[in-house]
Structure 1
Amino acid sequence: MSNTETGAAALRCGAPVEGDRPPGAARVDVLSAREVPLGGPRAMRVRRTLPQRSRSLIGAWCFADHYGPHEVAALGGMNMPPHPHTGLQTVSWLFSGEIEHRDTLGTHALIRPGEMNLMTGGHGIAHSEVSTPDTTVIHGVQLWVALPEQHRGAARDFQHYVPEPARVDGAEIRVFLGSLAGRTSPVRGFTPLLGAEIVVEPHGTLALPVDATFEHGLLVDRGDVRLLDTVLRPAELGYVPRGADVLTVANETDAPARLVLLGGPPFGEEIVMWWNFVGRSHEDIVRAREDWEASTDRFGVIGDHPGGRLPAPALPNAVLTPRRNPPTR
């Protein structure tokens, strides 16, 4: 998915690592989403929780869009023309609907509920995403992972994985990245990561052992849930700094609650994000934009798409200023 904000801010993001909390002293910060249109008069709107002013990354997770459920007949579906990425991996996860993915590797794949598609765009890749004609309701999340310095020029890659669900304490868990609840994803990454969909039965409580060296984020799709001692409502993301070795999640509603759990060790590098690019400097971003607008072979070619490719917005007329996560308290 593309960041289609025409006034996209150029952000320098980083995570200073300070002041670990002792075990059992975990807190939860509640991150609210802001609505962003994906372009056009019938634009599908998404709820964006990362990045934001109070937090830029959770581990290497640097971008989180949560969308739907959208009735395609009433609101239109997803129609993202070819657009570029650098310095990141995209993770696509659906709750309902179906999306057709094409990229400049030559990949032609479908994104379906319960199946993860991960695309690596280190030096440069382009892709398109279009909901299929049979899709009536589109609903899911689009996530980005920042690549570390030594791998940010990685070759294009695409991986598809269908995780086997695990049943734990009245919950169903699908681990698409990393390890949790006795399941481990075989998907290759460049930093330690955790990514999982969790469905908790009505009024169920789940105690999840997790890696205490990770920080975690719990995104609520549906239901009111209590993470440790804090209530999270739909579209909110609860952030837990490293130090917690068990996450307790309680569903406080009469229907199943659906959540996405993200995690990873604090990302110690400073990155610059603008539009669909992740770099290390303003110059990196300028060069990537110029290469995309000039149609160089850096991003490759997908082929014909109605309406052509997505042009890059104008760069801000400002020098980048640092923007960091707050120190871990």
Structure 2
Amino acid sequence: MSNTESRPDEVVCEAARAAGIEIITPRDVPLGGPRAMNVRRTLPSRARTLIGAWCFLDHYGPDRVADSGGMVVAAHPHTGLQTVSWLFTGEIVHCDSAGHHAIVRPGEVNLMTGGQGISHTEISTPETATLHGAQLWVALPEAARDTAPAFEHYAPAPVTGAGWEARVFLGSLLGSTSPVATFTRLLGAEILLRAGEALTIPLDPDFEHGVLVDTGLVSVDSIPVEKDALAYLPPGSTSRTLVAAEDTRLLLLGGPPFGEQIVMWWNFVGRSHEEIVTYRDAWQAQIIDASGEVVDDGTRVAMGRFGRVDGEHLPPIPAPPLPGTAKLRPRG
């Protein structure tokens, strides 16, 4: 998914601390277009840039495609990250400049490694009536951020217990381990919990965690977390207890503190303002013709750092202007 904000350096959220848990409330961000599909963004926030290597969390739907227009995100670039797509309802076609073509379906993870540079498109299928899911990004560590682009798909089998069900798409939890490769230790899982049920989850004490509530209402160690909110859990705990006040679906994310500062602007993750300028200039050079206009046919995008999505006929997305004379500052 592309970050299509016109001022992507602006981040607004409210955070509350209770019992060592931060509650991060979402902000609405339109993806653009006359019927702008809205997403709810909880990461990054003013309170927190990273949870482990997780650096971006957009949560959307359920949206009727007839009203929102669905997801139509033309070719756009990425560097220094991995994108993780997870759907609850609907289907999205993914195509990238490394030659991968895949359908994102509910309960199946698609992970794209941007590394040194990639471009891709995301378009909901004509058959999709309702779109509902999450798009997450993972920052790559210094040693891996210039790695070659790649792509993995995995459909985790559910693990179940009394009143709960989980699908572990990254890392290990509750006896399930994902084979998907990451460059830092990570956890990513969807958990369904029936109303009135409790689940004590064993955790790696080296990890910090995030709990995103998609539907329902849950408490984490007696701290309520409402729908669409993200609860940040610091390292040090070997378990946390979830209690559902009503039928609940949530995402549990985690990883050891990243230990590096990053600069994240638009669709790029780098380490300095100057790097971001270089990435932006390289993308603009690929998609702007001699007259200074964005090319009107994606198949005419020049080959360069970000490659080309073959067969794409939508105009690529130009990068927004950088924020005036102010330099982007590392955070993390």
- What TM-score do the two structures reach when normalised by structure 2? 0.91
Could you tell me which residue of structure 1 aligns to residue 257 of structure 2? Answer: 266
Unpaired runs of 5+ residues, structure 1, are 12-24
Structure 1's consecutive aligned runs of 4 or more residues displaced over 6 angstroms after TM superposition are: none
- Superposition deviation, residue 28 in structure 1: 1.3
Q: Which residue of 2 aligns with 1:5?
A: 5
Separation in structure 2 between the aligned mates of residue 56 and residue 171 of structure 1, nearest angstrom: 30
Pairwise CA distance, 1:247: 1.2
Q: Does residue 282 of structure 1 match 2:273?
A: yes
**Paired residue total:** 310
Higher relative contact order, chain-length normalized (CA < 8 Å, sep 6+): 1
Match of 1:311, SS state, is coil
Identity, in percent, stands at 56
Match of 2:15 in 1: none
Question: After alignment, is 138-147 or 227-236 more displaced?
Answer: 227-236
Inter-partner Cα distance in structure 1 for 2:160 and 2:166: 6
Distance in 2 of aligned mates of 1:185 and 1:318: 44
Structure 1's 323 and 299: CA in aligned 2 closer, same or farther, altered over 3 A? Answer: closer
Is residue 72 of structure 2 the alignment partner of residue 79 of structure 1?
Answer: yes
Q: Is the 8 A contact 2:272 2:328 kept in 1?
A: no
Residue 289 of structure 2 is matched in structure 1 by none
Matches within 5 A, 1:1-329: 1-9=1-9, 27-253=20-246, 256-295=247-286, 296-320=303-327, 322=329, 324=331
- 1:227-266 Cα distance to aligned partner (Å, 9 max, x none): 112101110000000011101101001xx21000000000
CA distance, structure 2, for counterparts of residue 193 and residue 318 of structure 1: 36
Shift of 1:303: 3.0
Give the SS at the match of 2:283. Answer: helix
| CA distance, structure 1, for counterparts of residue 19 and residue 273 of structure 2 | 36
Structure 2 Cα separation of the partners of residues 299 and 289 of structure 1: 11
The secondary structure found in structure 2 opposite 1:293 is: helix
User: What amino acid does structure 2 have at the position aligned with 1:86?
Assistant: T
Does the 8 Å CA contact 1:48/1:66 hold for their aligned counterparts?
Answer: yes
Are the structure 2 counterparts of residues 186 and 101 from structure 1 closer, same or farther at C-alpha, using a change threshold of 3 Å?
A: same
Residues in 2 aligned to 1:8 and 1:124: alpha-carbon distance in whole angstroms: 19
State the alpha-carbon separation in 1 of the partners of residues 32 and 236 from structure 2.
40
> Which deviations, in whole Å up to 9, do the C-alpha atoms of 1:24-79 show, x marking residues without a partner?
x9621100000000011111000000001001100000000000000001221000
Instruction: Give RMSD over aligned pairs.
Output: 1.4
Q: Report the TM-score when normalising by structure 1.
A: 0.92
| Structure 2 equivalent of residue 20 of structure 1 | none
Deviation, 1:320, is 3.0
Give 1:92 shift: 0.1
